[in-house]
Amino acid sequence: MMTLTMIVLFTLVLASVIMILSSVLAKKTILDREKNSPFECGFDPKGSARLPFSLRFFLIAVIFLIFDVEITLLLPLVPILHVTPLFSWLCTGIFFLIILLLGLYHEWNQGALEWAD
């Protein structure tokens, strides 16, 4: 038990020393105004470097990712059909699909799926 404690303590101390050492050695001070500004062919930028991001696009992308993950959670239902009882398999699959459909209906009802106003 004592050796395990010593190994954990040594690992934490070593990790802390490496992090502190890397942050001290990696400090870069940039005092030049041109190096701090965004690059635009050597000229001063005409507009803001930050472009406005469409919140509607971001919301659609997040909804796509959520439903994409849900589909990957549905895929294992097919190979386990012969292993599990049919009633249990049907209840699980239908319950999962109902949750997905309720989520889709909620997003549709809230107007999150409408691209144009």
Q: What is the pLDDT of residues 7-40, one digit of tens each?
A: 999 999 999 999 999 888 876 665 666 666 666 5
The CA-based dihedral angle spanning residues 60, 62, 67, 68, taken in that order and rounded to the nearest 10 degrees: 110
User: Of 107, 76, 108, which is closest to residue 92 (Cα–Cα)?
Assistant: 76
pTM above 0.85, yes or no: no
Six-digit token pair at 91? 């209840």
Burial of 33 (0-12, 13-18, 19+ CB in 10 A): exposed
Residue ranges of the chain whose pLDDT lies below 70? 27-51, 116-117
> Quick one: how far is CA 7 from the chain centroid?
33
